[in-house]
Each structure stands twice: as structure tokens, then as C-alpha cells.
Chains A and B, each alone.
Chain A
Amino acid sequence: MSKKGVEAALVRGVDILNEFLPLKSWLYFPVLYSACVWAVRRVFDYRERVLAWQVWLDPEFVRTKPDEFVLHFFSGDEALGREYADELARGDLRTLRAAFPALYPIFGLEDAFLKALFKTEIESADYRGIVVEFAARTAKARDDIQPAASNPDFWKAVELFGMEAASLGLHLIKDEEVQNMIIALVKKPVGISPAIPPDA
């Protein structure tokens, strides 16, 4: 495995995104990271995979869960259970149900793009921050990625990047390390926090 090789591939990934998503550097991290996740699993239908987060926002799907399932989701996750301990104790389903559509796709369905999009909040255990930001940030991501997403060349480039990174031994590097490598690269040229969009 060549860690430097992977890093070089990631640099090229940032260059690619810089070309297709100019001035949208906050989107580089989630796109590159989810491309890496799928590359490691040898799944190469990037367009569908990277954009799957849009499908997982589907309100039909998430909003019809019974109360017991919602309660089980919060109490079954250690960190969420701690954060929402008061609501769980007093059975405040109104608050829990309001938070569920934001937190279930991230912690229940484990969408790589959404996890990257809210990395800052996940790391600082700011789960309520995710709930507050969720609608605005995902809507902004959807709007900002749209022009590039409809360009087949963009997906070809992302796929090439993913395949290159995978062939260089991406799967042997810890997830956390890959995330940090991407963040370091994205931070370099633009100097903003990668996971937070402007005006989110």
C-alpha cells in the first residue's frame, strides 16, 4: 500500500471537484469521502451511490415509522440516548419525532454523504445542531451539486478518482485517517471548514 499514492489520488480528486464545483469547496469532503467509501466496497455506480442521500431524505420513508421504533432508535444508540435522555425519560415524542428524519438517515441508515456533510457536528456530538441544520444544509447541497451532477463527465472523473484511490490501497487506511486526509487537502486552498456550507 502507498499512503502517499492515496494522498496524491485525493489531491487529484480535489482538483477534479475544483473544476466541476468551483467555489463549492464545502461539498468536496462529502463527495470525495462517499466516493472513497464506495470505492473500497468495489461498488462503482458512483452517481447513484453519492446521490443516494437525496433518496434517503424521502419523507414518505422516514416519517411513517411507529413511535416505538423511533424510541428504540434513540435509546438503542448510546450517544443519541445520552443526548436525548430527558426527552426519552418524559416520553417527549414530539421532539423525538421531529429529530428522527434528520438523525435516522445518518445514524440508522449510515449514509456516507450525509455523515460527511455533518462531520463537524457528529464529531462534537452536536446532534441537536444536525437537526437544526439538516433541512437547510441538505437543500443547499442539493442545489449546489445539481449542475455538476447532471454532467456525465463529472461522474466519470469521480469514478476514475475512486478507482485510482482503491487500487492504491485505500481500503488499508483507517476510515478516520482518510477523512482527515481529505479535510487537510480541502482546507488548504480555501481555508474554510469543509463540512459547513456558507449561509447554512
Chain B
Amino acid sequence: MKRKLFPVAALALVFVLSGACLPHLRKAKQFYAEGQDQARVFRTEAAVASWKRAVDEAERECHRKPSAQAFTIKGLAETNLGRWREAEASFLKAFSLGFEPGEAWASDAALTGLAASFEELDLEAPALRIYAQLLDKSAFKPVLMTAAEKRTNLVLARALSSDPEEKARTLTALLKTLDRLLDRDFACGLYHYLHAQVDGHIGDLRRSYEEAVIARELGLPSEKISRDNDNQLIFCYDKLKETLPAAESKAFASAHSGWTKKWGWRDARTPAWKKE
């Protein structure tokens, strides 16, 4: 019996040891990738847990065998966790070890952290300036997405209390910024969602509807945004149906019905997540 068990135990031991000896860098990459996958399907908590584990593993690798790759993975995971200061330090280390874009990423992470601090202190003007600068200059997608969302929200809040002329000017400028972002990265669902929101404010509901459809198809970063995007679709659908000429309205309703069927809505106005 003991003889029979020995090979099994030995095999199990080899398996366990090989797992324990897996390089920390490989584990860090694996956890980071898992986090990205989980975030895509709105499993935020699981994603956060994976990114935290990625940071731990990368940190171990950085102690054992510092490399640009290990510090970059660590910085990326910290960025996703909103730990801007730590991300800045990691990217700087990665730069010093030969990762060329590390310096720019570090500076972008530092600025995003600073803007967030200004916002927390209700200092909107400097926060807006920093976000605008990041949107113009940064090439680092996580920073760009954060800056785009924050700046859009701050500008929309301001526009609400402005006179109509000022509001139109502000929103037109904001749309230009979002158009530039879309030129650079058309596949980012969040930019389309933000565009749809601003289009809604200026009354361009046809464009708002189209942007919200694209946003839904490309995917959005959180469930709350996804639900709000669905509500924007319903709002635009109702309004367009009222205002479009009869023939166009019919064609539009038919197209909308095609989309909603694809998305599994119960009817033209009821997404699957809504209570009956």
C-alpha cells in the first residue's frame, strides 16, 4: 500500500513545488491579465483582488530580481487600483531599468493623483486644468480614460449652471476633446458613452443614440455606467420616435428593435436588468 502511495505523493510534491517555484513575474502577469478579464465583465471586486495579488507578486519579483518588466506590471496594477503615487514610483523604476515610456507614464500617474486630490478638496479649476493637459498630452490609456471621465463630469456640472451661450461654447469644446480621443482610440466604449452624454446635453439625440449603441457594443468599464448608458438609449429612443417624420420613425424603431433583441431586452424600453 505504502509503495503504491509513494509515486502519487511524489508526483503531488513535484506538482506543488513546481507551482511554488513559478517565477513571481509570471504569476504577476497572470493575475494582472485575470484582473483585466474580470473587469471587462463587471466583476470589479474579483478584478481588484487579482490586481492586488499582481502587485504582491510583482513586488516579490522586484526584490528578488529587479527588472523593467516587473516594475511595469506593478505600476499597471497600481494604476488600475487608483494608487497613483505608488504607480508613479514603479514606472520611474521601470524607466531607470530601461523601459522607455516609463518616465512619461510616471509623470501622467503623478498628475492624475494630484488632480484627484484637488477634486477631493473641491478645487475644481486646477483639477480641470490638469485633466485637460493629460487629455492633450498623455498616451497612457488608463490615465486618459480617468481624465476623460472626470473632466467630462466636471464640465457638464459647470455647464448646467452657465447661461445658454456659455454652455453651448463649453460643450462644443468638450465634444471636440472627445472627438480627438475617439480619433486616437475609436474602440474605447467609455469615450463613446461620454460623447453620448454630451450629445444629450446639446440636444443632438440622433448622435447620442448612435454613440450609446457603439458604447454598449464595445463594452463599458462599470455596471453603473452600463445601466446609465441603457437609460440614455431609452431616452433617445422615446424622443426620436416622437420627433422623427413617420417613415423615418418606423425605420428607426425597427433598427432599435434589432439592437434590443440582440441585447436580450424584454422590449424596446426594458433592458434585461430592469424589474418587470
Contact = CB atoms under 8 A, between A and B. Distances in A.
Contacts of B269: 76
A64 B223 CA distance: 18
B238 interface: yes
Given A63-B157, A64-B153, A64-B157, A52 B235 contact: no
Interface string B158-181: 001000000000000000000000
A48 B45 contact: yes
Contacts of B224: 52, 55-56, 58, 61, 109
Interface string B202-225: 010000000000000000001110
16 contacts: A43-B43, A45-B45, A49-B45, A55-B224, A58-B224, A60-B150, A60-B154, A61-B228, A63-B160, A64-B197, A66-B201, A68-B200, A108-B228, A109-B228, A110-B227, A110-B274
B20 to A, nearest CB: 24
A72 B235 contact: yes
Interface in A86-135: 108-110
A173 to B, nearest CB: 15
List the 3 closest A-B pairs by CB distance, nearest first. A48-B45, A45-B45, A64-B156
A28 interface: no
Given A45-B43, A52-B224, A108-B231, A61 B200 contact: no
Given A43-B43, A60-B153, A109 B235 contact: no
Nearest to A56: B224
A47 B274 CA distance: 22
B273 interface: yes
Contacts of A175: 275
Contacts of A46: 45
Nearest to A43: B43
Contacts of A45: 43-46
Contacts of A55: 222, 224
Contacts of A66: 160, 200-201
Contacts of B197: 64
Given A45-B43, A45-B44, A48-B45, A69 B235 contact: yes
A70 to B, nearest CB: 10
Contacts of B48: 48
B153 A109 contact: no
Contact of A110 (B222, B238, B239, B275): B275
Nearest to B152: A64
Contacts of A56: 224
A84 to B, nearest CB: 17
